[in-house]
């Protein structure tokens, strides 16, 4: 008899966590498990991964599209005191609705063998859910995410309600155990799974490109791919580094793929440092791999990370990776400097110097070879065996 597995997560919008979720759903053995997917937010057309859910998997939303539109509407206008009050009301109401709808679904599902809380979003009410085995995935550095001591402590108490806690890299596992030593026996490490064949195939796919894209693709450029969010993705340091390169007579082109709340602010930085001829915000592409394949090298500047999916993807496509040595993930992925180039978080001078060395000397073939040799551990065929082993315990 198939095990009854319920997986919940926050959304199906564009994002690294969501891409990992879809990879898991597409790869996991559906003949072995009866899987249902529960998603918090119905974001309508923004749910770009909805069509990628395998047909064998039923899925449900806890918050309606109408409710999510109201929250979004009032969030954008919350500088007005009335709208701020309405935003806070609907935000609280949405959490209440999510809990109630989750309770109804649990009754509908009947006996649950395994509940997977894929983004820890159910931590506040996990003790109310009846399941033989409760597993939670942690995708971010806890201190970077929670920041305040009381929030970190409260989160630890909630994590104690799960049977297993999955960290997505060894550095994160060590961090979790150091913060919550009483949870040591529950913490395991399972890497994010990557479909090597799909990424390599998409890196040759030009179907999404327009004529102007193809012209840009034929330029000599380096690439950055991420959500445009300056709170986490440190674009100011990256832009300052390119300004320093320009002062040294190096006018390397940088393309940035992504969208997000800080897009206008990042463009203001580019304008401020007179780098419009070098740095281009390309916007969002569902297939960034064609751009990655044709780039000279890849740059990733972050203040903190959950893992850094795109670093592995760059490695799969045999690109040199330059990344900030932030918590958690990049250092481990880059083999502590043996598989790529690391620079200190927020240090534009160090980054500029390392970029200058790459551009002028190009001595990095051994780093790429090391990355290629050490990257197989992220292959979905290996990782999903660890997923299934955990589910079967």
Confidence of residue 52 (pLDDT cuts 50, 70, 90): very high
pLDDT, tens digit, 9 for 90 and up, residues 159-172: 999 999 999 999 99
Task: Give the chain's domain count.
Answer: 2
Mean pLDDT of 126-138: 94
My answer on whether 290 and 279 are in the same domain is: yes
pLDDT of residue 31: 92
* Nearest alpha-carbon partner for 69 in 87, 52, 51: 87
Are residues 68 and 207 part of one domain? no
For residues 97 and 216, membership in a common domain is answered with: no
What backbone phi and psi angles, to 5 degrees, belong to 34? -95, 100
* pLDDT interval class at 15 (50, 70, 90): confident
CA distances from 257 to 67, 78, 281, 352 (A): 30, 29, 6, 21
∠ CA 147-98-384, rounded to 5°: 70
User: Are residues 257 and 175 both part of a single domain?
Assistant: no
Q: 328: pLDDT confidence band, cut at 50, 70 and 90?
A: confident
Looking at the fold, whether 180 and 218 belong to one and the same domain comes out as no
User: Averaged over 86-92, what is the pLDDT?
Assistant: 93
Which pLDDT belongs to residue 308? 86
What is the structure's pLDDT at 235?
Answer: 94
Residue 279 has pLDDT above 80, yes or no: yes
What is the span of the domain harbouring residue 139? 3-193+379-392
Residue 272: other Cβ atoms inside 10 A: 12
Q: What CATH code is carried by the domain that includes residue 210? A: 3.40.50.2000
pLDDT of residue 367: 94
User: Do 268 and 179 belong together in one domain?
Assistant: no
Which pLDDT score is estimated for 288? 94
Whether 235 and 157 map to the same domain: the answer is: no
Alpha carbons 297 and 352: distance in angstroms, whole number: 14
Task: Reply yes or no on whether the pLDDT at 284 is more than 90.
Answer: no
Q: Based on the fold, state whether residues 261 and 177 are members of the same structural domain.
A: no
Average pLDDT over residues 80-96: 92
Q: What is the DSSP string of 218-251?
A: TS-EEEEES---TTTB-HHHHHHHHHHHHHTT--
pLDDT reading at 327 higher than 90: no
- Is the domain of 185 the same as that of 262? no
Please calculate the CA angle 50-54-56 and round it to the nearest 5 degrees. 125
pLDDT in tens, 255-264: 999 988 899 9
Instruction: pLDDT band for 1, please (50, 70, 90 cuts).
Output: confident
Which run of H or E residues covers position 7? Answer: strand 3-9
Evaluate whether 301 touches 215 at the Cβ level (below 8 Å): no
The yes-or-no verdict on residue 21 having pLDDT over 90 is yes
Shared-domain flag, residues 44 and 181: yes
The owner of tokens 């806070």 is 88
Residue 283's pLDDT is 93
- Do 187 and 201 sit in the same domain of this protein? no
Confidence of residue 364 (pLDDT cuts 50, 70, 90): confident
Starting at the edge strand found earlier in the chain, the sheet holding 187-189 runs 58-63, 33-41, 3-9, 114-117, 133-138, 164-167, 187-189
Judgement on whether residues 163 and 308 belong to the same structural domain of the protein: no
pLDDT in tens, 292-319: 999 999 999 999 887 889 999 999 999 9
- Contacts with 131 (C-beta within 8 Å, 6 or more apart), sequence order: 6, 112, 113, 114, 115
pTM of the model: 0.88
Q: What is the pLDDT of residues 137-153, one digit of tens each?
A: 999 888 877 778 899 99
Half-sphere exposure of 388 (CA within 13 A, CB side): 17
């Amino acid at each position: 008899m198939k095990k009854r597995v319920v997986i919940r997560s926050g959304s199906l919008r564009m994002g690294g966590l969501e891409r990992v979720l879809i990879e898991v759903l597409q790869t996991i053995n559906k003949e072995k498990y009866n899987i249902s997917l529960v998603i918090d937010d119905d974001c309508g057309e923004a749910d770009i991964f909805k069509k990628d859910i395998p047909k064998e998997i039923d899925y449900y939303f806890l918050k309606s599209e109408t409710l999510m539109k109201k929250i979004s509407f009032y969030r954008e206008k919350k500088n007005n005191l009335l709208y701020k009050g309405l935003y806070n009301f609907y935000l609280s109401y949405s959490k209440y609705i999510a809990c109630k709808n989750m309770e109804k679904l649990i009754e509908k599902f009947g006996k649950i063998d395994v509940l997977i809380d894929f983004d820890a979003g159910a931590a506040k009410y996990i003790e109310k859910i009846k399941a033989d085995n409760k597993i939670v995935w942690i995708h971010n550095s806890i201190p970077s995410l929670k920041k305040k001591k009381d929030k970190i402590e409260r989160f630890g108490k909630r994590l104690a309600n799960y049977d297993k806690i999955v960290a997505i890299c060894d550095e994160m596992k060590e961090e979790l155990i150091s913060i919550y030593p009483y949870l040591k026996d529950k913490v395991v490490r399972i890497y994010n799974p990557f479909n090597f064949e799909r990424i390599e195939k998409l890196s040759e796919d030009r179907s999404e490109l327009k004529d102007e894209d193809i012209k840009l693709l034929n330029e000599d450029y380096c690439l950055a791919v991420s959500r445009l969010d300056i709170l986490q993705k440190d674009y100011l340091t990256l832009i300052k580094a390119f300004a320093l390169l320009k002062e040294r007579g190096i006018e390397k082109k940088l393309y940035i793929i992504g969208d997000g709340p800080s897009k206008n602010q990042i463009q203001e930085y580019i304008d401020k440092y007179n780098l419009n001829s070098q740095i281009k915000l390309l916007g969002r592409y569902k297939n960034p791999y064609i751009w990655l394949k044709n780039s000279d090298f890849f740059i990733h500047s972050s203040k903190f990370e959950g893992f850094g999916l795109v670093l592995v993807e760059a490695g799969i496509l045999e690109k040199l990776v330059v990344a900030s040595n932030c918590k958690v993930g990049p250092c481990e992925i880059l083999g502590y400097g043996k598989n790529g180039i690391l620079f200190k978080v927020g240090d534009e001078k160090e980054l500029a110097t390392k970029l200058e060395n790459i551009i002028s000397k190009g001595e990095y073939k051994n780093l790429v070879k090391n990355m290629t040799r050490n990257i197989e551990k992220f292959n979905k065929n290996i990782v999903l065996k660890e997923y299934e082993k955990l589910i079967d315990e």
